[in-house]
Amino acid sequence: MENAKDLMPLQCKNIIKKYKEKEVLHNIDLTLESGKIYGLIGRNGAGKTTLLSILAAQCPATSGDITLGKETVWENQQTLSHICFSRELNPVAESAIASMKVKDYLKAASIYYPHWDKEMADRLVKTFELEPGKKILKLSKGMLSMLTIILALASKADYTLLDEPVAGLDVFMRDKFYKLLLEEYEKTGRTFLISTHIIDEASPVFEEVIILKDGAILLKENTEDLLSRAVHISGREDAVDAAVKGLKTYRPEKIGRSKGITVLMENGQEFQSSGEISVQPVSLQNLFIALCGDEN
């Protein structure tokens, strides 16, 4: 891998964001080390897009700092040239991008991103079968996603943030995206932070996962380590309760005398297994639902 790994981390320190009087991000501290693929998951309205936007200095935080290594990011052209934020494209009828053609959009990108790889962009346009002459307003949701993916990959930015890049893509295209992402990651060691709702599909690609709940970071951890701490226990209610005594539990489900519950153990903790309970691993999606569902 090339010198992308030499870059210092991208950090949020004590970020607060308020819209009018409503605080939507509360004291976010986040460190993104270079050379990793991070997943960002959270419910709609949790603040993912706002957080990504603030990290990329496209939206000002109400207070707090964003730094890349020792440099601040806000209004700093030098550091900004290392960051690409590929947000969901939403061509409202009057917006600038609506009347742009695909090739105009990519031409603009080639102007703004100093490390733009035109050859890669052209190749991806062919792979995704996008028509360069088509107006963005006329693109389907899937094609819009493909365009955001091309922007993200061909920008060759050291820190690339993608906001829901697979929205609208069918399963084959999503598969293609993960493969392209890993290919690019292996070649360059760039850092990626990707927000997604398609959790289980994407989780094997994420080295670390960040869960955002109600504007605060619930956890940030190596994906495999996190999942090894999570189990789902079910059986007769008293047996389950005995087994999970002293452990952090989430989302109890009851029907009749049977009970199921999700457990997230701390390092070193164990539950008491017995013949009376079923113990099953928890997928990232189900863990997320357990941690961020309404019942808590």
Partner 1 sequence: MNEGFKRHIHYISLYQGKIFSIIILGGLIYGIFLTTVINNPPDEIIRYLETILAIIPCSLITNYIRYQIDFCLSMGCTRRNIYLSIYILTAELLVESLAVFLLMKMIASTSITVDIIRSFVISELLSATLGVLNGVLIRRFGFAKMALILVIIYGGLAVFALNSFFLMTEFLSSPSSWLLIIGGILILYGLIVTLFGKRTIDRM
Partner 2 sequence: MNEILTQEKSIYLQISEMIENDILRDILLEEERVPSTNELAALYAINPATAAKGINLLVDRNILYKKRGIGMFVTSGAKEKIRQNRKEEFYQRYFKTMMEEAYSLGITREDLIRMIHAEEDKK
Choose among 163, 199, 292, 212: nearest CA to 47: 212
Question: What is the DSSP annotation of 207-255?
Answer: SEEEEEETTEEEEEEEHHHHHHTEEEEEEEHHHHHHHTTTSEEEEEEEE
Residue closer to partner 2, measured from CB, 37 or 73 = 37
Q: Which residues contact 230 (CB under 8 A, 6 or more apart)?
A: 262, 263, 264, 265, 281, 282, 287
CB of 282 to partner 2, least distance (A): 8
| Contact flag: residue 278 with partner 2 (CB under 8 A) | no
Site for partner 2 in 116-155 (CB under 8 A): none
Interface region with partner 1, contact rule CB under 8 A, candidates 17-25, 64-72, 112-120, 224-232 = 112-120
Rounded-to-integer distance, Cα 212 and Cα 90, Å: 23
Alpha-carbon distance values, 205 to 11, 95, 281, 291 (Å): 22, 34, 19, 21
| Contact flag: residue 175 with partner 2 (CB under 8 A) | yes
Q: Which residues contact 252 (CB under 8 A, 6 or more apart)?
A: 259, 260, 261, 295
| Contact flag: residue 270 with partner 2 (CB under 8 A) | no
| Contact flag: residue 281 with partner 1 (CB under 8 A) | no
Tokens, residue 211 = 């869960």
Interface region with partner 1, contact rule CB under 8 A, candidates 15-23, 73-81, 120-128, 138-146 = 73-81
Residue closer to partner 2, measured from CB, 131 or 224 = 224
94 binding partner (options partner 1, partner 2, none; Cβ < 5 to 8 Å by kind): partner 1
CB of 220 to partner 1, least distance (A): 25
Residue closer to partner 1, measured from CB, 87 or 232 = 87
Per-residue binding string, partner 2, 178-197, x by CB under 8 A, is xx--xx-xx-----------
With residue 77 as reference, give the H or E element that holds it.
helix 77-80
Evaluate whether 142 touches 173 at the Cβ level (below 8 Å).
Answer: yes
Q: Which residues on neighbouring strands pair with residue 12, listed in sequence order?
A: 30, 66
Rounded-to-integer distance, Cα 290 and Cα 262, Å: 7
Evaluate whether 251 touches 268 at the Cβ level (below 8 Å).
Answer: no
Per-residue binding string, partner 1, 79-108, x by CB under 8 A, is -xx-xxx-x------xxxx---------xx
| Contact flag: residue 238 with partner 2 (CB under 8 A) | no
Residue closer to partner 1, measured from CB, 107 or 135 = 107
Per-residue binding string, partner 1, 51-70, x by CB under 8 A, is -----xxxx-----------
Evaluate whether 67 touches 13 at the Cβ level (below 8 Å).
Answer: yes
Rounded-to-integer distance, Cα 92 and Cα 98, Å: 6
Site for partner 2, rule CB under 8 A: 36-37, 175, 178-179, 182-183, 185-186, 200, 204-207, 223-224, 227-228, 275-276, 280-281, 283
Residues found near partner 1 in the complex (CB under 8 A): 56-59, 75-78, 80-81, 83-85, 87, 94-97, 107-109, 111-114
